[in-house]
Amino acid sequence: MPEPRFRAVVFDLFDTLVDFRADLFPVVEINGKPERTTSIFAYEALKRKDFSLPAYEEFHRLWVETSKEVWGKRDKDPEYREVTSRERFGKFVMCLKDIPPGCRDEAAVIAMETHMERLIASTEFSPKRLEMLGRLRDGGLRIGLVSNFDNADAAHRLLGRTGITHYLDATLISGEAGYRKPAPVLYRRIAEMLDSKPANVLFVGDNFEADVEGPHSVGMSCAWLNPKGAQPPEDAVSPDYEIGLVEEVLGILGLEAA
């Protein structure tokens, strides 16, 4: 009897296993316009610790500009190296001139942790996905996860709170791995962690570059999660499979839900 093609399945995290809901962010008024942001929580948390801060509008402007600068440089890196949230918030606090140098590390951690808690609280998770993971495990498949997320501790907290951690044999979060998808090293590394060759791993995710083109670059098959029926980029490689719901991966693997 021939061996099954796939020995392992690897999932993306956000908008694949867990749905991110930016609409759950609070709405604040910035220069007369409504905006959804977590910065207000960080501002209030720092105020409670008696840090000297500028007016909230200026605080928010620096918050946004710092992130844009950091992410802009990161996204131009040809090696896809990650910049951790700790580094990003450290740069942000450096812009808050009234915070003494000796207090900046503490302020950066407070702002970062407050933001991350609000971020992971702004997610939705369906218990059906735990059922899916259970069926994959019962089917003899190893399960991995690779996520572009710059704070590994927050990602692991989210995985623990949802119950996903229990089903994972291997996990790579960019904030601790040092690289972001589509860096080829991540797909090779997760395959090794799952005792599989890339050709025997199915990658499942919603981002075309990270979850289709990235896996293909190392000979790994992919199932593109495309619930809105988006068109792939022009002249892009074709995904091996295209699904509208993450649970449809069970059908690809011959493990259809009961």
pLDDT (tens digit per residue) in 190-201: 999 999 999 999
**pLDDT at site 26:** 87
More confident residue, 2 or 175: 175
Q: Residue type for 44, please?
A: E
pTM, 2 dp: 0.94
pLDDT, mean over the chain: 96
Domain map of the chain by residue range? 8-21+124-252, 22-121
**pLDDT at site 1:** 32
Q: CA 245, CA 225: separation in Å to the nearest integer? A: 7
**pLDDT at site 4:** 65
Decide if domain 8-21+124-252 falls under CATH 3.40.605.10. no
Condensed to tens digits (0 to 9), the pLDDT of residues 125-166 reads: 999 999 999 999 999 999 999 999 999 999 999 999 999 999
Please compute the mean of the pLDDT values over residues 231-257 and round it to a whole number: 92
Residue 74's pLDDT band (cuts 50, 70, 90): very high
Please compute the mean of the pLDDT values over residues 160-185 and round it to a whole number: 98
**pLDDT at site 31:** 86
33 three-class SS? strand
Which residues lie closer than 8 Å to 89 by C-beta, 6 or more apart? 108, 109, 111, 112, 115
